[in-house]
Amino acid sequence: MNGCTKIFGILGNPVHHSKSPIMHNLAFQHCGINAVYLPFHAVDIQQAVAGLRGLSIAGVSVTIPHKESIMPLLDEIDPVAQKIGAVNTVEAIDIDGKITLKGSNTDWIGANRALEQVVSLHGKDVLLLGAGGSARAIGFGLQEAGATVILCSRTEPRGRALATELGCTWIPLTDITEGDTLPDVSVVINATSVGMNEDKSLVTASQLQGVEVVMDIVYAPLETRLLKNGKEAGCKTISGIDMLLYQGVEQFETWQKRPAPVEEMRKALYKEVELDQRK
């Protein structure tokens, strides 16, 4: 590190658990880029954004709880991020000495890229479990890719509101948890926290018979109960770590304007998560 080292980071509260520093710092090192990626514990997002400008931070990831509240503080927002209503990536662009902060959302790209490693989304019917921020980004991303979404959530008002924005069908979670079958879909995605550090799944192996792909945004454990059920049913499975990887890959490429070292970033993430699980 020296006076020319570019600084990147992640804004969040809390942020100590983030795997992004491991992934991005390894990518910088692998590519010989004079840069560092740091966790920034940001309580006051307004002051944090002022700090980005004042310290000439080159770019940041944005995580809970600031993905929505940061938007009015930025100079430009990507149209898809505007549509989603959340920003998870900020790029600082220096134009004649004036810093312009541009916000975008790579969560949906991360989900799509992870899915498209194993399935073409165009024309596919997808059951999306959840109606929170992750489901929102993934839902818009699926539609960008030409998929048809069926949204399923526990809370009816929130679920129906998101389904209205997406222009898709909403069904109550009880239809899944108290029923024997799923709607006729090719892909099932869990965008809830069910399964995180627990042996639980909203969907059984028997319900997944005939489904092509199962994806879980949860990555601790690496193989959740949902993914185990999917394997038992003969489905292709995608771990949440792949979504985390590909949203980070997109961030790297946004900031550096060059291809990311995907496999090295993948190895770093898997190693870190596996170490956590042994603790």
Catalytic residue among 67, 102, 124, 236: 67
Distance CA 88, CA 81 (A): 9
Q: Is 67 a catalytic residue?
A: yes
- Orientation angle between helical segments 240-256 and 107-116, nearest 10 degrees: 120
Greatest C-alpha distance within the chain: 62
Give the angle 81-66-107 at the CA atoms, nearest 5°.
40
Which residues are catalytically annotated? 67
